[in-house]
Chain A
Amino acid sequence: MVGRPRTGRRRKRTLGNRNRREQERDRKVGVGVLTQGEREANKRDFTKLELKVDHSNRPLWACADGRIFLETFSPLYKQAYDFLIAIAEPVCRPESMHEYNLTPHSLYAAVSVGLETETIINVLNKLSKTKLPKEMIDFIHGSTANYGKVKLVLKKNRYFIESPFPEVLKTLLKDDVISKGRISLEVSSFLYYLAHLTDHILSKTPGEMDTHSGLLDGADLAAAAEEKETHSFEIDPAQVENVKQRCLPNALNYPMLEEYDFRNDTVNPDLNMELKPQAQPRPYQEKSLSKMFGNGRARSGIIVLPCGAGKSLVGVSAACRIKKSCLCLATNAVSVDQWAFQFKLWSTIRDDQICRFTSDNKEKFRGNAGVVVTTYNMVAFGGKRSEDSEKIIEEIRNREWGLLLMDEVHVVPAHMFRKVISITKSHCKLGLTATLVREDERITDLNFLIGPKLYEANWLDLVKGGFIANVQCAEVWCPMTKEFFAEYLKKENSQKKQALYVMNPNKFRACEFLIRFHEQQRGDKIIVFADNLFALTAYAMKLRKPMIYGATSHQERTRILQAFKHSPDVNTIFLSKVGDNSIDIPEANVIIQISSHAGSRRQEAQRLGRILRAKGRLQDRMAGGKEEYNAFFYSLVSTDTQALYFVSHFVKFLCFLTEMYYSTKRQQFLIDQGYSFKVITSLPPPDTGPELSYYHLNEQLDLLNKVLNAGDDAVGLEQLDEDADDIALLKARRSVGSMSALSGASGMVYMEYNTGHGKKTAQGQTKAKQKDPSKRHALFKKRFG
Chain B
Amino acid sequence: MVNAIKGIFISCDVPMAQFIVNMNASLPASQKFIVHILDSTHMFVQPHVVEMIRSKIAEFREQNTYEKPA
B19 to chain A: closest residue by CB: A489
The reply to whether A485 and B19 form a contact with Cβ atoms under 8 Å apart is: yes
The reply on A126 being an interface residue by CB < 8 A is: no
Query: A482's contact among B18, B61, B66, by CB below 8 Å, is which?
Result: B18
The reply to whether A645 and B15 form a contact with Cβ atoms under 8 Å apart is: no
Interface readout for A691-703 with B: 1 if CB under 8 Å, 0 if not? 0000000000000
Known A479-B13, A482-B40; contact A641-B64, beta-carbon cutoff 8 A: yes
Q: Bound state CA distance, A482 and B15, in angstroms?
A: 6
Bin the interface of chain A by size. Answer: 20 to 34
B22 to chain A: closest residue by CB: A489
The reply on A639 being an interface residue by CB < 8 A is: yes
The reply on A490 being an interface residue by CB < 8 A is: yes
Known A486-B21, A486-B22, A489-B22; contact A479-B14, beta-carbon cutoff 8 A: yes
The reply to whether B64 and A489 form a contact with Cβ atoms under 8 Å apart is: no
B61 vs chain A, min Cβ distance (A): 8
The reply to whether B64 and A644 form a contact with Cβ atoms under 8 Å apart is: yes
Q: Total number of A-B contacts with CB less than 8 angstroms? A: 51
The reply on B65 being an interface residue by CB < 8 A is: yes
Query: B15's contact among A639, A649, A662, A664, by CB below 8 Å, is which?
Result: A639
What residues of B have a CB within 8 angstroms of the CB of A648 in the complex? Answer: 65-66
Interface of B is mostly: helix
Interface size on B, residues (CB 8 A): 20
B24 vs chain A, min Cβ distance (A): 11
Q: Bound state CA distance, A641 and B19, in angstroms?
A: 11
Residue with the highest number of chain A CB atoms closer than 10 Å, among B19, B40, B60: B19
What residues of A have a CB within 8 angstroms of the CB of B64 in the complex? Answer: 640-642, 644-645
Q: Bound state CA distance, A644 and B16, in angstroms?
A: 15
Query: B14's contact among A480, A646, A652, by CB below 8 Å, is which?
Result: A480
Q: Bound state CA distance, A662 and B70, in angstroms?
A: 11
The reply on A239 being an interface residue by CB < 8 A is: no
A425 vs chain B, min Cβ distance (A): 39
Near B by CB (< 8 A), chain A positions 640-664 give 640-642, 644-646, 648-649, 652, 662, 664
Q: Bound state CA distance, A564 and B67, in angstroms?
A: 39
The reply to whether A640 and B15 form a contact with Cβ atoms under 8 Å apart is: yes
Interface readout for B41-70 with A: 1 if CB under 8 Å, 0 if not? 000000000000000000011011111101
Binding site for B on A (CB under 8 A): 24, 479-482, 485-486, 489-491, 639-642, 644-646, 648-649, 652, 662, 664
- Could you list 8 examples of A-B contacts with CB < 8 Å? A482-B18, A482-B40, A485-B15, A491-B26, A640-B15, A640-B64, A648-B65, A664-B65
Contacts A479-B14, A640-B16, A646-B66 given; 8 further ones with Cβ under 8 A?
Answer: A479-B15, A640-B19, A642-B63, A642-B64, A644-B66, A645-B64, A649-B66, A652-B66
